[in-house]
């Protein structure tokens, strides 16, 4: 029995009608790679562009955006080559020196010398929702949403 929750999803239609919903943010997907990578010259990337690229994902478990990308690949007749690295800042260090790519949401993009970020033309948008079942917490939701917006 939960009074409120945060949900990261690509399908906002899964939220039961009995819950109140506030969209906190919607994030686009990007592909990160070494700045000298041959794909870094493009303005955006499609699934076909990254067809033969090696992807790196976190060792522990795929992040929400990695999971989205894997679902996107499941709809097409090829699967990405995958290599694992330790999650965190190390993933961007690996990108600087290797010809591999990874998926990030726009909120994770950081100034990283030697790393390029290109928009991924995917149908995936990761939406962060705040859900609650009691109407009396709406002022708290609005205050929280204002705080999140001020941090951007």
Task: Read off the pLDDT of residues 6-26 as tens digits, 9 standing for 90 and up.
Answer: 888 877 888 888 888 888 888
Record the tokens describing residue 47, joined without a space: 């699934």
Task: Spell out the residues 6+ positions from residue 58 whose beta carbon is closer than 8 angstroms to its own.
Answer: 66, 84, 85, 86, 87, 91
DSSP H stretches of helix in 4-102: 64-74, 90-97
In degrees and rounded to multiples of 5, residue 56 shows phi and psi of -115, 135
61, 69, 152, 52: which is closest to 104 by C-alpha? Answer: 69
Instruction: Give the three-class secondary structure for 46.
Output: coil
Chain segment 60-104, per-residue pLDDT in tens: 555 666 666 666 666 666 666 777 665 556 777 778 878 888 888
Mean pLDDT (whole number) for 113-140: 79
Report the alpha-carbon angle 149-150-152, nearest 5.
Answer: 70
Record the tokens describing residue 53, joined without a space: 């690229």
Chain segment 29-53, per-residue pLDDT in tens: 888 899 999 999 999 998 888 888 8
Contact 18, 133 (CB under 8 A): yes
Place 144 in a pLDDT band, splitting at 50, 70 and 90.
Answer: confident
| pLDDT number for residue 101 | 87
Between the CA of residue 122 and those of 71, 106, 110, what are the distances in Å?
A: 11, 13, 21
Higher confidence at residue 148 or residue 62? 148
């Amino acid at each position: 029995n939960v009074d409120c929750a945060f949900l990261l999803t690509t399908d906002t239609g899964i939220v039961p009608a009995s819950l109140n919903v506030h969209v906190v943010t919607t994030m686009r997907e990007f592909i990160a790679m070494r700045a000298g990578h041959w794909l870094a010259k493009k303005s955006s990337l499609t699934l076909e562009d990254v067809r033969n690229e090696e992807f790196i994902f976190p060792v522990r478990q795929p992040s929400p955006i990695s999971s989205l990308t894997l679902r996107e690949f499941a709809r097409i007749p090829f699967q990405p080559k995958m290599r694992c690295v330790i999650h965190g800042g190390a993933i961007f260090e690996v990108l600087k020196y290797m010809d591999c790519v990874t998926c990030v949401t726009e909120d994770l993009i950081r100034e990283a010398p030697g790393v390029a970020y290109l928009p991924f033309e995917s149908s995936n948008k990761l939406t962060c929702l705040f859900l609650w079942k009691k109407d009396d917490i709406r002022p708290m939701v609005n205050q929280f949403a204002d705080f999140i917006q001020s941090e951007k």
